[in-house]
Structures are given as C-alpha cells and as structure tokens.
C-alpha cells in the first residue's frame, strides 16, 4: 500500500503566482483596448465582455437567443452525439480487439473514415439533415467514435496473454475470455476514451455550429463575426471554454465513481 506523501505547504508568494499571472494577463488585455493599441473593431476588452455577459443572460437580441439557451443547445447536441459514440464505439472497439471476424469486417470502414476530419462531413449532413439537431449530432458522433474504438481496441489487445492462456488451461471459451478477462483488462483504456472522446466531441461541435446552426455557442461566435461585434465573439469563445471545462470535470467525477465501484 502506498504511503501518503508528506504535504509541504507552498510559500504564500508561490501560491499567489497564478493569481498574479491572471491579473497581469487581463490587465494587459484591458489596457491594449483602452489605449487603442488595437482598434475596438478588432478586440473587445474584458470589461466589455463581462458587460455583454450580463446583458446576454436575459437579452435574446441581436443573435436570437439568451446565453443559457445557446449553451443548452450546445450541451444537448454534444451530449447526444457523445453518448451515441460511446454506445457504438466502445463495443465495436472491444469486439474488434478480440474477434478476428469483427476486426476483418469493421476495420476497412473504420480506417477509411478515421482520417477524414469530422467537420468535412458538414456539407453532407446539411444535405441530409438540414441545420437542426440531427446533423450536428451526426458530426459529433463521427468525432467521438474514433477514440472510443481505438482505445477499446488497444485495451483488449493489451490484455496480458498469460492470463488468457491461464483461462484456456481452465477450459474457458472464447466468449468467457472476452467478457471475463479482456473487457476488465481493457477498462482503464476505455475510461481514458471517455475524456478523449468528450474533447473531440466538444471541439467538433463548435466547428459544426460555426457553419450550420441557428443557436448554440458556436453560432454565437459566428453571429459576432457577422455583426462585427468582437465582444460577442470573445464571450462565445469563453463560454465554449468554460462549458467544456465544466463538462470535463463532471465526466472526470463520474469516471472516478465508476472506477471506484469496479475496483471495490
């Protein structure tokens, strides 16, 4: 059992360093705009962004929706696509890792789709689904499924071969080895996929919304560009970042819970 490391308290100055760094960054940014080093048509100051943030909490104009609604649309799209990619990608990868037939059938398709950036699908999805929810879910699904398949596949492949041989000496069937040895061995890699897939999904969601949407955080950024409102662009960017980080934290928590549940 591992011993807890003795925690040495960091000196105060060191703990203040990140805050100082942040203040310096925001301050410089504010000054650049205030003194018009860059014209206000090119960059909005932090203060302007905060003001717009407060306004956008309740005001739908000029882009058609309040901030929460943009965020909610994005989260819904991302989450639906993400869950679907897990549901399809993880079992697919696991099967491909163990069953030769599954690998032989699915591998060519997978290898063909894998190098195509998900955003390249956007025009097709507009033909097929228009600019509603379904098209973006499709893009996100494509984006998320790749790491799910790869991680699950590699996880199964990394199963200790001696454990498999041991099970064989006990007369285990292929299916038993798959379910009782390969899948548990692959779990840490599969959990790794949860985070990686989420990052892929979120990135590509914003990409998809930039091009085909009428709400969503990506759409907010696009509207900012169209209306020549840098404050709106920056607000959109920050909202995307914060929402993504927030979802990441939640997934991390869920993952730890699940892992703890399995280890016990």
Partner 1 sequence: MSVKESGVVSQEKGQDGYKIVCERISKEFIQKGTQRVHVLEDISVAVRKNEFVVILGPGQSGKTTLLRIIAGLEIPTTGRVLLDGREVTGPGPDRGLVFQGYMLFPWKTVMGNVEIGPKLRGVPKKERREIAARYIKLVGLDGFENHYPHQLSGGMKQRVGIARAYVNSPEVMLLDEPFGQLDAQTRYYMEKETVRIWETERRTVIFVTNNIDEAIYLGDRIITLQGKLPGRMHAVYEVDLPRPREHTDMKFLELRHIITEASELTL
Residues forming the site for partner 1 (CB under 8 A): 1, 160, 162-163, 165-173, 176, 180-181, 184, 187, 262-263
Nearer to partner 1, 106 or 172 (CB): 172
Who contacts 46 (Cβ-Cβ below 8 Å, separation ≥6)? 26, 29, 30
Peptide bond into 68 cis (omega under 30): no
- Minimum CB–partner distance for residue 178 and partner 1 (Å): 12
Nearer to partner 1, 69 or 157 (CB): 157
CA distance 142 to 149: 11
Residue 109: Cβ-neighbour burial (10 angstroms; 0-12, 13-18, 19+): exposed
- Minimum CB–partner distance for residue 258 and partner 1 (Å): 13
- Minimum CB–partner distance for residue 189 and partner 1 (Å): 14
CA distance 71 to 240: 8
Nearer to partner 1, 166 or 227 (CB): 166
Nearer to partner 1, 115 or 161 (CB): 161
Nearer to partner 1, 68 or 166 (CB): 166
Instruction: Give the helix/strand (H/E) hosting 19.
Output: helix 12-34
Nearer to partner 1, 87 or 166 (CB): 166
- Minimum CB–partner distance for residue 161 and partner 1 (Å): 10
DSSP assignment letter at 120? G
Peptide bond into 62 cis (omega under 30): yes
- Minimum CB–partner distance for residue 262 and partner 1 (Å): 7
Instruction: Give the length of the chain.
Output: 264
Nearer to partner 1, 38 or 163 (CB): 163
- Minimum CB–partner distance for residue 170 and partner 1 (Å): 4
Who contacts 44 (Cβ-Cβ below 8 Å, separation ≥6)? 33, 52, 229, 230, 231, 233, 234
Contact by Cβ (8 Å): 66, 60: yes
């Amino acid at each position: 059992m591992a011993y807890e490391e003795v925690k040495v308290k960091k000196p105060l100055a060191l703990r203040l360093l990140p805050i100082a760094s942040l203040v310096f960054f925001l301050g410089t940014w504010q000054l650049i705009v205030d003194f018009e080093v860059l014209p206000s048509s090119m960059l909005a100051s932090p203060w302007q962004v905060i003001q717009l943030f407060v306004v956008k909490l309740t005001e739908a104009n000029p882009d058609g929706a309040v901030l929460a609604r943009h965020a909610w649309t994005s989260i819904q799209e991302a989450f639906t696509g993400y869950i679907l990619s897990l549901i399809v990608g993880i079992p697919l990868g696991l099967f491909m890792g163990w069953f030769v037939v599954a690998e032989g059938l699915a591998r060519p398709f997978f290898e063909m789709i894998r190098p195509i950036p998900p955003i390249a699908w956007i025009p097709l999805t507009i033909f097929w689904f228009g600019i509603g929810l379904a098209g973006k879910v499709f893009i996100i699904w494509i984006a998320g499924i790749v790491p799910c398949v790869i991680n699950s596949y590699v996880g199964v492949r990394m199963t200790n071969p001696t454990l498999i041989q041991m099970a064989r000496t006990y007369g285990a069937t292929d299916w038993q080895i798959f379910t009782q040895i390969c899948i548990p061995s692959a779990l840490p890699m599969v959990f790794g996929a949860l985070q990686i897939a989420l990052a892929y999904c979120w990135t590509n969601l914003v990409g998809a919304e930039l091009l085909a949407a009428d709400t969503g955080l990506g759409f907010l950024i696009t509207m900012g560009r169209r209306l020549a409102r840098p404050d709106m662009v920056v607000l959109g960017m920050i909202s995307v970042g914060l929402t993504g980080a927030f979802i990441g934290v939640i997934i991390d928590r869920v993952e730890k819970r699940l892992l703890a549940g399995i280890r016990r």
